[in-house]
Amino acid sequence: MAFRSHDHDGCSGAVLRRAEALATTKGVRLTPVRQRTLEILLRAHRAVGAYEVLEELARDGFGNQPPVAYRALDFLVELGLAHRIRRLNAFTACMHPGREHQPVFFICRTCDAIAEAQAEPIRSAAETAASGLGFVIERMNIEALGLCPACAGISE
Amino acid sequence: MAFRSHDHDGCSGAVLRRAEALATTKGVRLTPVRQRTLEILLRAHRAVGAYEVLEELARDGFGNQPPVAYRALDFLVELGLAHRIRRLNAFTACMHPGREHQPVFFICRTCDAIAEAQAEPIRSAAETAASGLGFVIERMNIEALGLCPACAGISE
DNA sequence: GTTGACATGTTATGTCATAACTTAAATAAC
DNA sequence: GTTATTTAAGTTATGACATAACATGTCAAC
């Protein structure tokens, strides 16, 4: 799952089903706003700003004030169904929900495409550095900015 | 240089001298606002928000509008003399200026202390993942949130 | 001493995020 | 089944972060 096109509806459906299962397992509720928010992220298949999400939610009859979007997004991030891309002040649906994972994001500075890759080696490298300092890692975000294959091809 | 106290004036002086040399080498100017901004970051020895920097600059007779701070901070980041901590919407002086390096930041969620560690293994791990996707990394930020030694000791 | 490049000052506005309170819905307790 | 408790959603208001665009000033080169 990276910089290639694929079947959005297919991946959305699978993730949504898993999201529901995950919520049940954790004893939290995947309410309509929350589910719709996840759908919005899945369909966009790129990083989406909170206010952009909010617009869509409002169009669907949900509240139209920022907290509506932020709460739903925070819920999804907390549950591991979405990630926050700090560099872009935006959110994106997680492509491997459920599984424990440490993502790294590759962000194209030209076309804003995003790829989420697994980063197990990165995690362990960071873990090593942290333990040397006596630091306990709880969360980590790793974001790389650069050029995706398509844009790198053009600019070179 | 991590979660231990040390001689601020000493490290500030050394970094400032190196900053000046670096600016000369690169053919850019370390003007008063820029130098003062770097000093502010160095003295704070923690992540400082742009508006906080601005306040100090204004007190020293520089402009008191946001762009004044942001421009100076951007300059320092560009030159590698400061880093932006996206998680905190803040900036911090680089502890190893001049040398090429790929920092990882450990941020204590309790006391906001920050440690900058070298992350060469992390960089190469990311580089590997990126080349598999055909992605060209230009910049990368790695930020870990958790507990510093002191705060971990208290809470456990 | 004029030109051009760069830096700074200033005005205005845009964008992102959350605190605090209210209303409503769902679940638990009785 | 009604009440109490918790959790979620709606709403108001404001706070925090960031930048566009233009005016002014400064310095070096010629």
User: Does the CB of A126 have a partner CB in chain B at under 8 Å?
Assistant: yes
Amino acid at B68: V
Higher per-residue confidence, B100 vs B150: B150
Q: Could you tell me the domains of chain B?
A: 8-93 (1.10.10.10), 103-155 (3.30.1490.190)
Kindly tell me if the per-residue pLDDT of B6 is higher than 80: no
Torsion of CA B11, B12, B13, B14, to 10 degrees: 50
Give the model's pLDDT for residue A11: 65
A64 contact to strand D (CB, 7 A limit):
yes
Report the residue from A87, A134, A147 with minimal CB separation from B86.
Answer: A87
A33 contact to strand D (CB, 7 A limit):
yes
Helix-strand-coil split of chain A, %, nearest 5? 50, 20, 30
Instruction: Give, in degrees to the nearest 5, the angle at Cα A45 between A55 and B103.
Output: 105
Mark the nucleotides of strand D covered by protein, meaning any atom under 7 Å from a CB: 7-14, 16-21
C-alpha–C-alpha distance, residues B47 and B91, integer Å: 5
Mark the nucleotides of strand C covered by protein, meaning any atom under 7 Å from a CB: 6-12, 15-20, 26-27
C-alpha–C-alpha distance, residues A74 and A81, integer Å: 10
pTM above 0.85, yes or no: yes
Give how far the C-alpha of residue B80 lies from the chain's centroid of Cα atoms, to the nearest Å.
8
Q: What mean pLDDT comes out for the span B108-117?
A: 88
Interface with chain A: mutation pick from B4, B107, B140, B154, highest number of A CBs within 10 Å: B140
Give the model's pLDDT for residue A155: 61
Task: Express each pLDDT in B52-80 by its tens digit.
Answer: 999 999 999 999 999 999 999 999 999 99
Q: Cα–Cα distances in Å, from A12 out to A4, A9, A95, A115, B77?
A: 16, 5, 9, 16, 39
Give the model's pLDDT for residue B39: 97
Task: Express each pLDDT in B21-45 by its tens digit.
Answer: 999 999 999 999 999 999 999 999 8
Give the model's pLDDT for residue A50: 98
Provide the 3-class DSSP secondary structure of residue A137.
strand
Averages of pLDDT over each 10 residues, chain A, 156 residues: 60 84 93 97 94 97 97 96 96 83 88 86 86 92 92 74
The pLDDT confidence band at residue B95, using thresholds 50, 70 and 90, is confident
Residues 86-125, chain A, touching B (beta carbon < 8 A): 86-87, 104, 106, 108-109, 115, 117-119, 121-122, 125
How would you classify the pairing of strands B103-108 and B114-118?
A: antiparallel
C-alpha–C-alpha distance, residues A38 and A14, integer Å: 12
Residue pair B106/A135 in contact (Cβ under 8 Å)? The answer is yes
Give the model's pLDDT for residue A5: 61
Residues 82-101 of B with CB under 7 A from strand D: 89-90
Kindly tell me if the per-residue pLDDT of B1 is higher than 60: no
